[in-house]
Amino acid sequence: RIDGARLTSRLADLARIGATPEGGCRRLALTDEDRQGRDWLVGQLETLGLDTRIDAIGNIVGILKGQLDGPAVIMGSHIDTVGTGGRFDGALGVVAGVEVLAALRDAGLTPKRDMAVIAFTNEEGARFHPDMLGSYVWAGGMSVEAAHREVDSEGVGLGSELKRIGYEGAERPGFLPAHAYLEMHIEQGPVLENEGGGLGAVTGIQAITWLELTLKGRPSHAGTTPMAYRKDPGLAAARINIFANELTKTIPHQLANSGVIRVQPGNVNVVPETVVMTLDLRNPQDAPLAQAEEAVRRFCAELSERDGIAITFRDLARFPATPFAEELIAEVERSAGEFGLPIRRMISGAGHDAQMMARLCPTAMVFIPSIGGLSHNPAEFSTDEDMVAGANVLLATAWRVANA
């Protein structure tokens, strides 16, 4: 069993780094706050006597040697946050993994297989694209070089930031072969709470498409230019945002969000010249997601034709629906059963590092309820009881899989 007090106290320690006045966390990937969080984590891993390694994309790995050589049972998540982040998203999965290894150490237990915890770089995609970048590179979906070339919205490079904070490590991403991957995470949505609580055995992750649209119109004077002469990309962006939102009413289970809207030159009396906007489109299934994207592209083509706005598209992320391994989902359920904890199967609305790791090995996740379904919000909250329950399920599952 894990030590609940130690788990929550580690989480509180990490939450102090990048703490915001609203009670949340702002620890954007590869910023100074992220560096402080990493330094803290490395300190924890080393104190536990784990073999601690950093790879070329900044993923932090702590390994507990098992009795055999061969692939490891890996637990993990991330410690970066979005701009309006909470204290639990990602951080909980990492400290739970640390706690599992600490509990095994305390009990003097050595698993058959290696066991490891990983904190993956830039999972949120808040600063660099795509989201799940560290685990994507780990799983071989993207090269280290391509990842280093990613830039944030200010044009600052991922590679240079990694060097600046001292986390460009010597290991090759993926250097530790994976026997299985397990991730504990807050649900970040309202499903479990609405079902009266209990844990979630995650069956997979929905498909995610992130598009960046650049809309070019014609800057002009807002006091002298007749309405009919304007080519206003801001108005076009407004129509696209509303169209994407309307789509969610006709395509089942479709989600849409426009989280970034940047308007140039951004003067009160200038009809905008350029708008850069993003669309985050998700669906549990690939086909309706493709249908939604197609509808957006068709709408944009028509609007472009009609209003004289040039629209170009860029993919920021594109991940298919990812089912998890049935045998591992069943192991998660079994562990919950052993502790007498209610658990229900559910799909994940959020992307997770598990979605990338599922390319490499059998993968599963355990969710705990998020109060009010809130996440990416300073008010994000989960109870100590649920955290301890989730970590115990993680421990039991990882231990069994590591010794099978």
Give the tokens for residue 116: 């490891």
CB of 47 to a copy of itself, least distance (A): 33
- If one asks whether residue 264 binds a copy of itself (CB under 8 A), the answer comes out as yes
The beta strand positions in 295-372, using DSSP E, are 310-319, 322-323, 343-348, 363-368
One residue of 34, 114, 152, 273 binding a copy of itself per CB under 8 A: 273
Query: For residue 91, is it left (φ>0), alpha (ψ between -120 and 50) or beta?
Result: alpha
CA 231 → CA 8, 161, 263, 365, distances in Å?
A: 54, 38, 14, 48
Residues binding ligand URP (CB under 6 A): 89, 123-125, 131, 188, 221, 223, 269, 350-352
- If one asks whether residue 263 binds a copy of itself (CB under 8 A), the answer comes out as yes
Find residue 313's DSSP bridge partners: 213
Among a copy of itself, ligand URP, none, what does residue 210 contact (CB within 5–8 Å per kind)? Answer: a copy of itself
- If one asks whether residue 235 binds a copy of itself (CB under 8 A), the answer comes out as yes
One residue of 135, 278, 392, 397 binding a copy of itself per CB under 8 A: 278
State how far the Cα of 58 lies from the Cα of 124, in Å rounded to an integer: 15
One residue of 64, 72, 328, 350 binding a copy of itself per CB under 8 A: 350
- If one asks whether residue 268 binds a copy of itself (CB under 8 A), the answer comes out as yes
CB of 132 to ligand URP, least distance (A): 6
CB of 322 to a copy of itself, least distance (A): 13
Contact between 98 and 45 (Cβ < 8 Å): yes
Say whether 347 sits in a helix, a strand or coil: strand
Smaller CB distance to ligand URP: residue 166 or 259?
Answer: 259
One residue of 6, 164, 239, 400 binding a copy of itself per CB under 8 A: 239
CB of 124 to ligand URP, least distance (A): 5
One residue of 68, 146, 242, 301 binding a copy of itself per CB under 8 A: 242
**Is 179 known to sit in a ligand binding site?**
no
Give the tokens for residue 44: 């924890």
> What would you report as the CA-atom Rg of the chain, rounded to the nearest whole angstrom?
22
**Is 78 known to sit in a ligand binding site?**
yes
How many residues make contact with a copy of itself (CB under 8 A)? 73
Contact between 34 and 79 (Cβ < 8 Å): yes
One residue of 167, 181, 210, 324 binding a copy of itself per CB under 8 A: 210
Q: What are phi and psi of 274, to 5 degrees?
A: -140, 140
**Is 124 known to sit in a ligand binding site?**
yes
Smaller CB distance to ligand URP: residue 221 or 298?
Answer: 221
CB of 292 to a copy of itself, least distance (A): 13
Nearest to 63 by CA among 46, 88, 82: 46
Q: Which of residues 64-123 bind a copy of itself (CB under 8 A)?
A: 82-84
One residue of 133, 316, 354, 389 binding a copy of itself per CB under 8 A: 316
- If one asks whether residue 373 binds a copy of itself (CB under 8 A), the answer comes out as yes
AA identity, residue 283: N
State how far the Cα of 48 lies from the Cα of 190, in Å rounded to an integer: 36
Nearest to 83 by CA among 28, 128, 132, 151: 28
- If one asks whether residue 250 binds a copy of itself (CB under 8 A), the answer comes out as no
- If one asks whether residue 55 binds a copy of itself (CB under 8 A), the answer comes out as no
Residue-wise DSSP of 286-297: HHHHHHHHHHHH
- If one asks whether residue 306 binds a copy of itself (CB under 8 A), the answer comes out as no
Among ligand URP, a copy of itself, none, what does residue 305 contact (CB within 5–8 Å per kind)? Answer: none
140-149 long-range Cβ contacts below 8 angstroms, 24+ apart:
140/174, 140/359, 140/360, 141/356, 141/359, 144/56, 144/57, 144/173, 147/57, 148/57
Total residue length of the chain: 404
Smaller CB distance to a copy of itself: residue 168 or 280?
Answer: 280
One residue of 47, 143, 250, 267 binding a copy of itself per CB under 8 A: 267
- If one asks whether residue 257 binds a copy of itself (CB under 8 A), the answer comes out as yes
Feature table: binding site for Zn(2+): 78, 89, 124, 185, 376
